[in-house]
Amino acid sequence: MKNSILFKSLVVLTVFTAFVACQQEKKKVINFPTTDLTAENFVPKPLKIIPTNSAFGLDKNTIIYTSQNATGFPEVGEFLSEKIKWQTDLDLAVNSSTNTSAERIIFINQSDSTAFSSKEGYDLHITQDSIILNAKTAEGAFRGVQTIRQIIPETSNDTLSENKMWLIPTGKIIDNPNFEYRGSMLDVARHFFSVEDVKKYIDILAYYKINILHLHLADDQGWRIEIKSWPKLTEIGGSSEVGGGPGGFYTQEEYKDIVAYAAKHYITIVPEIDMPGHTNAASVSYPILNGNGKTPKIYTGTEVGFSTFDTRKDTVYAFIDDVVREITAITPGPYFHAGGDESHVTKKKDFVHFVSKVDKIVKKYGKKMIGWDEIVHADIDTSAIAQFWANEENAKLAVEKGLKIILSPGKKAYLDMQYDTLSKYGLHWAGYIPVDTGYIWTPERYVKGINKENILGVEAPLWSETISNMEELEYLAFPRMIGYSELSWSVEENRNWENYKVRLGNQAPYLDKMNVKYYPSELIDWKKSKYTYKTIDKD
């Protein structure tokens, strides 16, 4: 096997070296127009862009090569080829040793350069003849591929040669994420969303370099993941949702399919089982778990805070152990989210006792516990992570205890907040969040006393009380989620609303081609595209 891999790598290297030498001997037969790489509509904006004011002509005579003995690199090359075909209808060969007609090359190269400070860092060198993408890991290469996708024009310019060409500006891009954790949360508990819906959301998130999808899998209104040792959770708890709809759940095979699809896009799934509050669906399935002194009934409303587990019962912790064991066994990522918010009927001493025990169970199965900011009042390990959503004092206490913070402030980052008073969907308990309000804030300095080194990253939650299908989801998530991608990837000095809103408006062709029913904010001058999908109107 090793000899086979080595042989293939030598073939690719030989072909690539010969190609470069051949191109150096050729005289340029096409005078490309002047282009400016800095004027491209990157979102999120890269760390550094150096233009050289010419163009690479992507056409049918372009080939893709990758480092073949590097884990994941050939697959990243295939992904790029697939997306180029989707964008342009060009069918580019990957790692072919027989293509002798190639005139230009895209080379995805594994580099051991010490210049890459994280596994997601990459650089791009674009000339008239080649695009060379360097990265230390396949994950970094995958992020770089999204940048390449964003600079392929919507339409070709076929006036320069006999072949249609998509002209890509030349220059160099050096890029690296500002935050390690860049996420969105999708609430599939209040309303259930299918595997295909989740996959479409993953497709869009990956394009904007998001690397975390947090799935809120259980709440008062529904339990959405199969637990084989407790089958009534889905038989009973999975049968309802807000408004009395049919509910639904993921079998473990379906959940593994989502996890695998996310992994292909270098997105980590973070599963959440919210507890000890938000647990009515579990308690109605198994009343022995209930701790609020009332007979559990299926719940389809939206009020919160009335449910709790019995925090002093051994059966409850045996149940949690089983749930965490089964979910973590099919979740390769490092995190398990245990909720912890709005446990209004749980006595404080019981809440503290409960969270401390759950933290130990999560650690037992090799994961780091994430919880909403209320968890900081418990005795938990410093490996735990507090997700700040409402209480700044909780966030500060987390830092004092040595915990990392995920920033999800309701007033800035909640995707389920209405854009304005005319929005069709969403709530406004935290206020209205128009597109500019969602973008114009500084995570690094949002909470006084919490600095960048205390922050793991940014996550934008999308709660689903008011939405029940993909079009409604897209209306609330986009375009705001695109802004959160920039807030979490790009450094502060590269974030500017006036510049960003122009780049955002120019995302319309991609969103239209993906048939995303985004909210057409009047703050943005949306670029007209050749696609005719209609967005959900504001009125």
Contact 151, 168 (CB under 8 A): yes
Closest CA to 536 of 414, 425, 415: 425
Q: Taking every pair of C-alpha atoms in the chain, what is the biggest distance, in angstroms?
A: 83
Q: Is the Cα torsion angle 236, 241, 244, 250 positive or negative in sign?
A: negative
Through-space distance between the first and last CA atoms of the chain, rounded to whole angstroms: 61
Which of 380, 377, 350, 352 shows the shortest CA–CA distance to 368? 380
Question: Burial, 78: exposed, middle or buried (Cβ in 10 Å; 0-12, 13-18, 19+)?
Answer: middle
In order of 120, 455, 504, the CA distances from 123 in angstroms are 10, 25, 23
Name residue 134's beta-bridge partners.
109, 123
Q: How many other C-beta atoms lie within 10 A of the C-beta of residue 315?
A: 12
Indicate which residues carry an active-site annotation.
342
Q: Identify the bridge partners of residue 212 per DSSP, sorted by sequence position.
A: 183, 268
Q: What is the C-alpha separation between 342 and 340, in angstroms, rounded? A: 7
Measure the CA–CA gap between 366 and 334, rounded to whole angstroms: 8
Tell me how many degrees the CA angle 414-143-39 measures, rounded to the nearest 5: 85
| Interatomic CA distance for residues 380 and 222, integer angstroms | 28
Backbone angles phi, psi at 54, to 5 degrees: -135, -155
Helical (H) or strand (E) element with 388: strand 385-388
Q: How many residues does the chain have?
A: 539
The SS3 of residue 245 is coil
Q: What angle do CA 476, 477, 483 make, to 5 degrees?
A: 125
Residue linked to tokens 């918010």: 341
Three-state helix/strand/coil letters over 394-417: HHHHHHHCCCEEEECCHHHHCCCE
CB–CB of 523/483 below 8 Å? no
Helix (H, G, I), strand (E, B) or coil at 154: coil
Among 186, 185, 183, smallest CA distance to 209 is for 183
